[in-house]
Amino acid sequence: MIKLTGFKQGRGLWEKLDKVIDRLANCDPTIWGESAAKEAAIRLNWVNLPEKSRELLPQLDALSAWSREFGHEVFILCGMGGSSLAPEVMAQVYKKELTILDSTDPAHVKRVLDQDLSKSCIIIGSKSGSTIETASQMAAANEQLIEQGLDPKNHFVVITDPGSPLDVQAREIGLRVVNADPNVGGRFSALSAYGLTPAALIGIDISILLDDAYEASLSFAKPGSVVTQVAAALADKFFSFTGFLDTGSNVAGLGEWIEQLIAESTGKDGKGVLPITLRRKSSLNYPVISFDGSGSNSVEASLGEHFIFWQWVTALLGYLLEVDPFNQPNVTEAKEKTSALLSRWSKGREEITPVFESENIAIYSSLQENSVEHYLEKAIANSRGYLAIMAYLHRGGDDQIKDLAPLLESKSKLPTTFGWGPRFLHSTGQFHKGGPSTGSFIQITAENENTWPIAGRDFGFETLIMAQALGDMEALSSRDFSVIRFHLKNRKQGIAELLSAAEKI
């Protein structure tokens, strides 16, 4: 049973929502207006997944038996956005081991793939297979399996939409494939094959997730239900910046899944709610949602209940904000700029001169300052609402950089988000470019001590991650947003210098 605390704002919107909740329960694609109806018509099957996904259980039972027969002990999931975030939460909550490869940082790729893969099961989650990160990760993993004398057929599991290029390719070479419902978008796919397949393989009883989600959803279409209350509150300006604090709750890690769901769904047309994942309570006065009953606003529920609850809330929030919750136009833009850079670089990389250099950091900006500290101060001064830290570094290796967000938030008195690149491009990256134009952006890149080739490409991961960073910088700069890039010449020392400079502000 879902228990709410707080959410007193937006009560005047309850009646408006109560008029559409039955339509959402019946998957009516016209709820979000004529322009959104075509997309919504092929994105609403998530509503019925708590019941419909039970059809997957026999197939996933057989797949798990195959995995046990081959003695798989290490499970690696390659995927971006919703394809990886939901399974990562499930693994954390159920205390199961699942390695997530959702980065193009070569040090991260090396940590995951540079090992004995003989007991590994490598799960590829992608609707089309054309997402550059996942396609590159699969190519690298395949190459590594072959180099170790292993048959990829015994180690790969592919989750994709039926008839996709990846579906065709995987079946042609004899890989095991689980088809997902094509009428479910990535960030709404937690209870689809994308979320449930990895969960089943690592030993989670997915029927419990589905049971909980189904039972919860039965009450959502009632007037004044829990989804109505929270969606109405989030539509209030008070919740424009909203913290999510899952530390110490029964759903550790849930905040990052919610961050992608809400940011990518609502951050467009100059509107949106910006979720801020927190490790501890913020010193600022923006609202914070907890999951353990503490604080002014809290949602207590099981993980299955949370998944379906927040999807309903997000869809209803899109209705109130008058945005299409199922498209992500600016995610595509960042991909296109990355591809354009990679194409240009195939003819030779152009040299870019930093505007300032310290011992460990080179800074790229249109501004002229004389210290790292002053550039951080400029980033703060240029904000009209929030700061965004975008770290194209090694998640799991360069984790100290995460301390920069609460530090700058305390110094600046501005809501401050942190995202690992490139994974945030499939999350808050949409909000940055499509939401309210109030952000100031701190981009962090680094020299790569490691390189890792991508089979079939004329570039490696070290080139890909830099193209993704600079492509996003182009997209942000084209809107006249403030973007300052701090390039770490030495990762460990550069992070230390950056944190030291922030302390001095």
Q: What confidence tens digit (pLDDT) does each residue in 10-29 have?
A: 999 999 999 999 999 999 99
| Res. 203: pLDDT tops 90 | yes
User: Could you tell me if 16 and 68 lie in one domain?
Assistant: no
User: Could you tell me if 175 and 300 lie in one domain?
Assistant: no
Q: What confidence tens digit (pLDDT) does each residue in 359-414 have?
A: 999 999 999 999 999 999 999 999 999 999 999 999 999 999 999 999 999 999 99
**Which pTM value belongs to this model?**
0.97
CATH number of the structural domain spanning residue 183: 3.40.50.10490
Arithmetic mean of pLDDT, 166-189: 97
Domain boundary among the residues 186, 209, 232 is at: 209
Calpha distance 209→199 (Å, rounded): 10
Calpha distance 120→75 (Å, rounded): 6
Number of domains in the chain: 3
120-125 and 3-5 as β-strands: parallel, antiparallel, unpaired? unpaired
Cα–Cα distances in angstroms (integers) from residue 340 to residues 91, 381, 471, 472, 486, in the given order: 36, 32, 8, 12, 23
Which residues, 6 or more positions from 380, have their beta carbon under 8 angstroms from its beta carbon? 387, 408, 411, 412, 414, 440, 505
At residue 273, the 3 state secondary structure works out as coil
Give the confidence band of 118 by pLDDT, cuts at 50, 70, 90.
Answer: very high
Give the confidence band of 283 by pLDDT, cuts at 50, 70, 90.
Answer: confident
User: Could you tell me if 201 and 153 lie in one domain?
Assistant: yes
217 contacts 50 by C-beta, under 8 angstroms: yes
Arithmetic mean of pLDDT, 76-85: 94
Calpha distance 404→391 (Å, rounded): 10
Q: What is the torsional sign of CA 294, 400, 303, 15?
A: positive
User: Could you tell me if 278 and 343 lie in one domain?
Assistant: no
35 in any annotated domain = no
399 in any annotated domain = yes
At residue 386, the 3 state secondary structure works out as strand
Domain boundary among the residues 153, 181, 209 is at: 209
43 in any annotated domain = no
User: Could you tell me if 363 and 280 lie in one domain?
Assistant: no
User: Could you tell me if 495 and 355 lie in one domain?
Assistant: yes
114 in any annotated domain = yes
User: Could you tell me if 59 and 199 lie in one domain?
Assistant: yes
445 contacts 352 by C-beta, under 8 angstroms: no
pLDDT at position 347 is: 84
453 in any annotated domain = yes
Query: Percentage of the chain with pLDDT > 90?
Result: 94
pLDDT at position 449 is: 87
Write the DSSP assignment of 320-363 as a string of letters: HHT--TT--HHHHHHHHHHHHHHHHHTT-PPP---SEE-SSEEE
Calpha distance 427→421 (Å, rounded): 10
421 contacts 468 by C-beta, under 8 angstroms: yes
Q: What is the mean pLDDT of the chain?
A: 96
Arithmetic mean of pLDDT, 290-311: 97
Give the confidence band of 282 by pLDDT, cuts at 50, 70, 90.
Answer: confident
Give the confidence band of 334 by pLDDT, cuts at 50, 70, 90.
Answer: confident
335 in any annotated domain = yes
39 in any annotated domain = no
Calpha distance 201→142 (Å, rounded): 20
Core vs surface per residue 20-51: b (16+ CB within 10 A) or e: bbeebeebebebbeeebeebbeebbbbbbbbe
User: Could you tell me if 60 and 151 lie in one domain?
Assistant: yes
User: Could you tell me if 150 and 203 lie in one domain?
Assistant: yes
Give the confidence band of 128 by pLDDT, cuts at 50, 70, 90.
Answer: confident
Calpha distance 379→221 (Å, rounded): 44
User: Could you tell me if 334 and 412 lie in one domain?
Assistant: yes
Write the DSSP assignment of 95-133 as a string of letters: T---EEE----HHHHHHHHSS--TTEEEEEE-SSS--HH
pLDDT at position 471 is: 96
38 in any annotated domain = no
| Res. 163: pLDDT tops 90 | yes
416-420 and 439-446 as β-strands: parallel, antiparallel, unpaired? unpaired
Arithmetic mean of pLDDT, 301-312: 98
Domain region containing 108: 49-209
pLDDT at position 187 is: 96
Domain boundary among the residues 266, 294, 321 is at: 321
DSSP 8-class letter at 181 = P
144 contacts 135 by C-beta, under 8 angstroms: no
User: Could you tell me if 205 and 218 lie in one domain?
Assistant: no
pLDDT at position 331 is: 84
Which residue's structure tokens are 């210290």?
371
Question: Facing residues of 445 across strands?
Answer: 487
Give the confidence band of 205 by pLDDT, cuts at 50, 70, 90.
Answer: very high
pLDDT at position 333 is: 86
164 contacts 129 by C-beta, under 8 angstroms: yes
User: Could you tell me if 370 and 485 lie in one domain?
Assistant: yes
| Res. 289: pLDDT tops 90 | yes
Q: Peptide bond before 422: cis, by omega within 30 degrees of 0?
A: yes
DSSP 8-class letter at 29 = T
pLDDT at position 330 is: 87
- The pair of structure tokens assigned to 286 is 């923006």
| Res. 496: pLDDT tops 90 | yes
